[in-house]
Amino acid sequence: MRSTKERILNTLLNKHNATIGELADVVGINGISVRHHLINLQAEGLITAEEERHGVGRPRFIYKLSDKGYEQFPSNYLGLINLILEVIDVELPKRQMEVIMEKVGLRMAETTKISNPALPIEAKLSEMSVILAKAGFRISHEREGNVITLHNKNCPYHHIGVHHPEICQVDQVLFQNLLGKTINPVDCLLTGDKECSFTITMDENGKDRRN
């Protein structure tokens, strides 16, 4: 049997929006109990409330699912994205597909900024690992002489990359633009390696050698 929380969320999915009274009727509990559950659901970010005036008297609140609330229900983003990329792959030449992935990487870099572009490269790498962890990356780095190796233990879109390996260009362009350095791919999870790795070769002045 579904919990009261699940029944409220399902009711809001089916009705699009509802008042406390409407939810109480459908769920089968009193308004005070519904209000208590709605407060918790709002705290979790699963629903929103809008004030609505209806004639004389106090306004009432209309409750709706938030974007996070909709995410509680089954979705098929992965299947849709794979299908879109499959169609693009058929319709466009390979180089155009690569250009699209490069533009995606650039767009991601525009919305994921390093706090200070003047930071030393290793400070940038440390900050980048924290920022991108929220997107599913697991990044670390090490330096040996003038070579810095960037390790990524998790590909956030591995299931897409299996069918569309060109998506790896997104990561390369993203990392290069965040770091302001040329990076060279070495290992790749999609080809059976234990990680995705890249190298940055620095010269004696701390600048990258462009290969």
Query: Is pTM beyond 0.95 here?
Result: no
* pLDDT tens digits for range 26-54: 999 999 999 999 999 999 999 999 988 77
CA dist 121 and 137 (Å) reads 18
Closest to 64 in 3D by CA, of 8, 4, 27, 16: 16
| Angle of CA points 167, 172, 174, to nearest 5° | 95
> Using 50, 70 and 90 to split pLDDT, how confident is the model at 211?
very low
> Is residue 86 over pLDDT 70?
yes
> Domains (ranges, CATH) in the chain?
4-70 (1.10.10.10), 78-201 (3.30.1380)
* pLDDT tens digits for range 139-154: 999 999 999 999 999 9
